[in-house]
Each structure stands twice: as structure tokens, then as C-alpha cells.
A and B are shown apart, each in its own frame.
Chain A
Amino acid sequence: MLIQAAVENVLNASALIFPALECFHIIGFALLIGSIVIVDFRLLGVGLTREQPSALTKTMFPWTLAGLVLIFFSGPLMYSTDPDMYYLNWSFLIKMACLLVALVFHFTIHRTSVNRWAAEGAAKGVAYTSLVLWASVVFGGIFIGFVSQGL
């Protein structure tokens, strides 16, 4: 059923659509991750250290949101072009798990520690965790192309 869905998917009609979606995806995750990482660097005392982390998060939020919109627009469409491949791809599954953890972490612990200006040590721990989580999402995404098994 999934294969049939992929064959009927209009996104597979042109060879240019998938690479175009990938470009949106790359720009999207660069915005999403970049806007979060700038705050992480702030927590680590690097880069834009003039403002409080909470103010910097507020400044960056439109870009975080724009990135989220772009990845959640392009990602599911990319998935729909070949659902079986993704469904059976262990790297894809790990990526989705990391993405879920990263997003939950971002909107809970990260958000709270930024707003309450947690103790320096704790804030640094949060920043490093955030960096590792987002990097693992990117690694998971890239490895999809290297571990895929043809059906």
C-alpha cells in the first residue's frame, strides 16, 4: 500500500522536486538549529553575550519558528515520496527519536533554564545537551542516505 502511495504521489512526477525539497529542508534546519545554538553559545559565554539569554531567545524565536515550519513542510513531503524506505531505515527511526527528544528538551528544560537564568553550571549543561541533541538529529538525517536498503 505504501509503495502504491509513493508511485501515485505527484511529488515523484519530476526529478527536480525532491532535491528542491531537500534544499528547503537544509535551509529550514539551518534556521531552526542555528537560532537555538546561538542561545546555547550565549549560555556558554560565546558570541552574542550582550543580552540576557531570555532576551536573545525572544529575538531568535521568529527564526526558530520559520525553521520549524520549513522542516515540517519539507520533511513529511520527502517521507511521502518513499515511505517504505524511510520506515525500514534504522537511521531514520533514530533521527525521529532524537528529533522528538530535542524538541521536547527545547520547549521544556531549555526554555525554563533560559528564562529563569539557571546557575551557570546548570546552564552550561543544558547548552551542551542541546548542542549534542541537535547534532545527533543532523547525523541521523545524513546517515539515512548511507544505510538505506533497496526494497
Chain B
Amino acid sequence: MLSFCQWLQATAFFTDLRGSGIIYPSILSLHMVAIAFFGMMILVTDLRLLGVGLKSYPVAELLGRLRVPKYFGFALIVTCGVLLFGAKAEEYYYNIFFRFKLIILLLILIHGAVFRPSVYRNGAALDASGLTGQAKLAATLSLVLWVSMAICGRGIGYIEPNLFKLHARATQTGTADTSRLQAAALRVPVLGAGVIR
């Protein structure tokens, strides 16, 4: 996995992306814009499933109308995320917050699959029978998962794995392909970019 990350960020595309003064932060900005534009749709859905807000909308209609925009937003966020990861793949590999974030992403996908039949594709029944415990559980878990996602995302910027040290250690113990590490070391990105101070 580590060597895949090293290979990925050493590709011409991601090397250029990492070195670009404007494109990299623009992708990060787009990532954040997409969160701002589409994150609220998740909250709105959760509030409705908890019975707290937007009661004028039947659950089925709310889920149906927001489904496509939410998928679009998710795709945009993930696309930007993949590009950001690729540009600094090796750093991200070592970054504990990035690992947490991937785990949360996995949990979010599982959450969607688990509650799909009983909640997210079951709006009409929820309107007829009232909000079930399942629906409220789904909404609560969704809130917890997405807030954790945001916190881990911000955490990523605060960890700067010392790649020089890690490369030196790998070279000493003979566990690394030295030529690849040297190539990677030459392309070590500007560490800490994205941390506001």
C-alpha cells in the first residue's frame, strides 16, 4: 500500500498537481464549497427523520427530491478528495486522521446500505406509520458520522509526517526500494500547506 501511494504521487499528473500554486488550493476550496452546498441537505434529512424539522414535507418526498442533489454533492466531494489525496498520497498514508477519515467513510457507506431498505427507500411507509426507531437511529448515526468526518478532515492538516526521517529509516533497514524513495524525497511537497498558520 505504501509503495502504491509513493507510485501514485510520483506520477506526472499528481506531481504537477502538487507543484501547482493555484490548482491544488482550488481543489481544496471546491471540496469545502461542496461540503457547504450539500452538507445541509444531510442535516435537513436527519432533522426530518428525527421529527424535528421540515414537517411540512412528507418523508418520501423529502428523500426523493434530495436524493439526486445529495449524490451529486457526494460525487463532487469524493472526486476532489481523491485528487487531494493523490497529490500527497505518501503523507496521507502516514496521517492518522486520514486513516480515521477512511474508516468513517467506510462506516458511512455501510450506514447507507444498512438503512436503505428500512429508511431511505421506505419513505412512504414512514409517512403512513410515523417515524420508526430505525429512522431516528439512522438520523442520529448520520449526524455523528458526518460531524466526525469534518473533524478528522480538519485534523489531517495538523499532522506532518516527517518523510525524510521515515525514508532514512526505511533505507537503513533495507526495507525500501531506495531509488523510488530518493525520487519521492525530491518531490516532497511543501509540508503544512493548508494549515492556516
Mark A residues whose CB is within 8 Å of B: 18-19, 22-23, 26-27, 29-31, 33-35, 37-38, 41, 46-51, 55, 59, 63, 78, 81-82, 85, 131, 134-135, 138-139, 141-146, 148
In the complex, the answer to whether B197 meets A50 with C-beta atoms within 8 Å is: no
Q: List residues of chain A with CB within 8 A of the CB of B193.
A: 145-146
In the complex, the answer to whether B36 meets A138 with C-beta atoms within 8 Å is: yes
Contact of A142 among B32, B41, B54 (CB under 8 A): B32
Q: Does B78 contact A (CB under 8 A)?
A: no
Q: List 18 A-B contacts (CB under 8 A).
A: A23-B150, A23-B151, A26-B32, A26-B154, A27-B150, A30-B36, A30-B40, A31-B43, A46-B69, A48-B44, A48-B54, A51-B56, A51-B57, A85-B197, A134-B36, A135-B33, A138-B29, A139-B26
- In the assembled complex, the Cα of A138 lies from the Cα of B56 at a distance in Å of 31
* A88 smallest CB distance to B (angstroms): 13
Q: List residues of chain A with CB within 8 A of the CB of B151.
A: 23
State how many residues of chain B have any CB contact under 8 Å with chain A: 39
Interface of chain B, main secondary structure = helix
- In the assembled complex, the Cα of A34 lies from the Cα of B38 at a distance in Å of 6
- In the assembled complex, the Cα of A19 lies from the Cα of B25 at a distance in Å of 19
Closest CB pairs A-B (n = 6): A34-B40, A33-B36, A142-B29, A139-B29, A145-B196, A146-B25
